[in-house]
A and B are shown apart, each in its own frame.
Chain A
Amino acid sequence: MSDVRESGADDTVAVQLLTPDGERVEHPDYAYAGTDDQIRDLYAQMVLVRRVDAEAIALQRQGELGLWPSLLGQEAAQIGSAYALRSQDYTFPTYREHGVTISRGIDPLRLLAMFRGTETGAWDMARYGAHLYSIIIGTQGVQSVGYGMGLERDGLVGSGDPERDAAVVCYFGDGATSQGDLNEGLIFAASYNAPVVFFCSNNQWAISEPSERQSRVPLYRRAAGFGFPGVRVDGNDVLAVHAVTTEALDRARSGNGPTFIEAFTYRMGAHTTSDDPTKYRLADELEHWRARDPLSRVRAYLERTGAADAAFFDEADAVADALAVQLRRNCLALPEPSLAETFDWVYADPSPELTEQLARHREYAASFEEAR
């Protein structure tokens, strides 16, 4: 892997609306329809999730989290796509999609709790329109299609009322495209014309395996083989990601079926806090992508056009810092779970045997309390 890869297995150009230098550019098929106000908002959100990510890494380093999968470098892919969602839509995030999750309204503390090991990550999925994180790679590929098939049966797809119609975004990585479940999801989606947007964050690496190990052709082109559109977008360009996802979601909601989006991006950090990327990738690759940072290009645009002043940027940083401080405090104060409570969740209708096991567990645990 000595060459620096920018365009993947061929020279396919990704949809781009904002260059790394912060220039807005035209694209024949896509345009960002939002205002500068909204771009400021996108920027502030990216700052926020980057700050949450940094705090989580720090907490892990201090032994407060068992593990943390960093989103560094993927903020635009996550925030740009999540901002295209409506409240009635549903998402299946991976374990790295913290930006999406937070954007759906979920308290980042819930994410920390999961990786601290105090919770299973059980937020209110219906309320936030966000499924739990998928740890086994690819499982969400089929599940998301089933959810979409449900929306269809409930008359929430192609009803002609755009305020009501809904769709699903299934998030996954480049590595996940090798799993059977993911491919079966693509088949089902095609077969039933399901309202699903398959959003592949191609961050170039599946732990130590380069994306070339998973595919000889650019990933978005796989869609053609399944019979629906695929598009590659510059995953570090929040405007382009937003525009492309918006269109795919509109298609899905209106009953025109699935789309495969490949967000071409880069995982700037380690796979997780237990990984050591120096074993398999080169520093110049990192430098190449650092110059394509998803935040700095938006900042450059806002600064150059005068759409935001220094006070705005300071404020975005201050809000993020304040959240981080609060998050750290709340993380350390997370209540310790108990094994006993988990017995309640195994069955809707618990067996006498399990109830008996719980009683014995309580008795045993209590014997230690007494001994203290």
Chain B
Amino acid sequence: MSDAAPAPVRTMTMAKALNAGLRRAMEDDPKVLLMGEDIGKLGGVFRVTEGLQKDFGEARVVDTPLAEAGIVGTAIGLAVRGYRPVCEIQFDGFVFPAFDQIVTQVARMRWRTRGQVPMPIVIRIPFGGGIGAVEHHSESPEAYFAHTVGLKVVSCSNPVDAYWMIQQAVRSDDPVIFFEPKRRYYEKAEVDTRGTDGAVPLPLHGSRVVRPGRDATLIAYGPMVKTCVEAAEAATDEGRELEVIDLRTLSPLDLGPVFDSVRRTGHAVVVHEAPVSVGLGSEVAARITEECFYSLEAPVLRVAGADVPYPPSRIEEDYLPDLDRVLDAVDRSLSY
């Protein structure tokens, strides 16, 4: 499709990595098609699908009417016909018109049909704050989906994962809600696109230790992974070594590496942007408490948004967990 074979190792933004991953998924399987608002000529409002319609045509990169229930609902029908639709929801707050189709239909179809009808649908959602947007453009609705059985919910945090995880999600026979941390779209990293002879990509459903440390464990996903890594770097000034774990998969959770880590450090802090109550952090904290009770030297702490709607952008920095709030929680944990 592209003129010259691209170099196997390239520095890419997360948006470009997703684009390259989608391109490869489409090349590998003619049943893969993309659907969404403005994803064709415009290449999506974040340019994640840029150039794909030009190369794969309008039947495979489908500019849809402005209707999210329609996007996901038609994707269900296409999936029943053997297609593998990848739906783009333009912003987090706009997924709710499609919520019914996702939670009552996509999530349960395999179960209802006794395994006859898989739903190999990916629903990509740019999520989270930090970009100075107006309301409904900065939300973190992941817990609604993680609470729905039948869906797999994942979030990438860097270009390498973005490149591989999107391909794995497309290949999955289960529906995947794919959360993309929009404020990290334009951050770069070197991506080895070879996979086998280069870096072997981690499976879709696995958490990863991003940075090892012995004093406390920071657990995050999506946009907060970078924040936690920065906090861990800052903590070295005080002689503290913080371990950072990227959950990558929010449902089902892969907490093995988390338990291993907490058994060593005895201190755990879970970090996310979504409101604290009944969020992902609550589940992680409960599971750590169940598994690592005798290793814990402090209660599992959560650093998250307050139980208020995402605020106007001038005060989003007060709302969003930042390095200071993470380190403050680490202090509290270590002072028990």
Contacts and interface: CB of A to CB of B under 8 A. Distances in A.
Contacts of A368: 324
A364 B325 contact: yes
Interface stretch (A202-210, A249-257, A286-294): A202-210
A279 B136 contact: no
Contacts of A339: 306, 308, 311, 315, 318-319
Given A116-B314, A337-B315, A178 B328 contact: no
Q: Which 4 residue pairs are nearest across A and B when measured between Cβ atoms?
A: A117-B313, A208-B42, A178-B65, A175-B66
Contact of A66 (B63, B277, B313): B313
A293 to B, nearest CB: 26
Contact of A138 (B63, B97, B315, B325): B97
Interface in A114-164: 114-120, 135-138
A67 interface: yes
Interface string A356-370: 011001001100100
B63 A209 contact: yes
28 contacts: A67-B132, A117-B312, A117-B313, A135-B136, A137-B66, A138-B97, A178-B67, A179-B66, A180-B70, A180-B97, A206-B37, A208-B42, A208-B63, A209-B37, A209-B65, A214-B65, A214-B66, A274-B45, A336-B315, A337-B314, A339-B308, A339-B311, A342-B309, A354-B307, A357-B276, A357-B307, A358-B306, A361-B306
A176 B66 CA distance: 7
A209 B328 contact: no
Contact of A279 (B42, B94, B132, B306): B42
A312 interface: no
B66 A208 contact: no
Contacts of A337: 311-312, 314-315
Contact of B67 (A180, A279, A353, A354): A180
A interface, size bucket: 35 or more
Contacts of B136: 135-136
A114 B134 contact: yes
Nearest to B317: A339
Contacts of A345: 308
Contacts, number: 120
A180 B69 contact: yes
Interface string A164-186: 00000000000110111100000
Interface residues of B, number: 41
A120 B135 contact: yes
B43 interface: yes
Contacts of B315: 117, 336-339, 342
B134 A67 contact: yes
Contact of B93 (A119, A135, A214): A135
Contacts of B88: none
B96 A66 contact: no
A354 B275 CA distance: 11
A61 interface: no
A280 B42 contact: yes
B141 interface: no
A280 B325 contact: no
A206 B66 contact: yes
A356 B64 CA distance: 45
Given A279-B42, A279-B43, A364-B328, A136 B133 contact: no
A135 B67 contact: no
B41 interface: yes
Contact of B134 (A135, A137, A343, A358): A135
Nearest to B307: A354
Interface in A300-345: 336-339, 342-343, 345
